[in-house]
């Protein structure tokens, strides 16, 4: 059942979801809100398959469409593109000590956590400052 409000003067009808991503949907609003909650609280994001299982939806396509619409609605089209990036500096991190067990091994044989890495930081500086 769709609730429609009507203007007393001009008789224009409008629904609560008109003009939103929820317009003309057959999926209950409670499921949409659960999908938005699950999508925004998961640190790594949520897949359509996982959403289908969590909401107990029958079809994968429904979960995919919900995520697609929610992701599209979350994009800020008015965002300002990056203009200039300056190097903030680099530092060495990790590495091998001279007397360690991995000192004589090639890089292929060394554990990734002990291999020497270079960490670089960047910063964005607005033009005009």
Q: How do the domains of the chain map onto residue ranges?
A: 4-74, 85-124
> Which pLDDT does position 124 carry in this prediction?
56
> Which pLDDT does position 123 carry in this prediction?
56
Token pair recorded at residue 99: 């007397």
> Which pLDDT does position 58 carry in this prediction?
95
Residue 115 has pLDDT above 60, yes or no: no
> Which pLDDT does position 109 carry in this prediction?
44
Residue 106 has pLDDT above 90, yes or no: no
Residue 122 has pLDDT above 90, yes or no: no
> In terms of pLDDT, which residue wins out, 95 or 80?
80
User: What pLDDT, in 10s, does the model give residues 11-69?
Assistant: 888 887 888 888 888 899 899 999 999 999 988 889 999 999 999 999 999 999 999 99
Reported as a pLDDT band with limits 50, 70 and 90, residue 97 is: very low
Predicted TM-score (pTM) of this structure = 0.55
> Which pLDDT does position 63 carry in this prediction?
96
> Which pLDDT does position 114 carry in this prediction?
46
Please provide the average confidence, as pLDDT, over all residues in the chain.
74
What single string gives the DSSP state of each residue in 59-114?
Answer: -HHHHHHHHHHHHHHH--TTPPPP--EEEEEEEEE----TTSTTTTS-GGGS-GGG
């Amino acid at each position: 059942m769709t609730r429609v409000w009507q203007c007393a003067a001009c008789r224009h009808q409008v629904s609560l979801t008109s003009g939103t991503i929820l317009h003309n949907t057959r999926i209950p609003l409670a499921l949409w809100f659960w999908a938005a909650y699950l999508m925004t609280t998961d640190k790594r994001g949520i897949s359509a398959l996982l959403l289908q299982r969590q909401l107990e939806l029958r079809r994968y396509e429904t979960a995919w469409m919900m995520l697609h619409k929610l992701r599209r609605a979350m994009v800020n089209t008015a965002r300002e593109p990056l203009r200039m990036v300056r190097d903030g500096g680099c530092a060495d991190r990790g590495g091998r000590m001279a007397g360690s067990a991995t000192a004589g091994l090639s890089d292929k044989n060394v554990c990734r956590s002990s291999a020497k890495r270079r960490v670089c930081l960047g910063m964005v500086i607005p033009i005009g400052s």
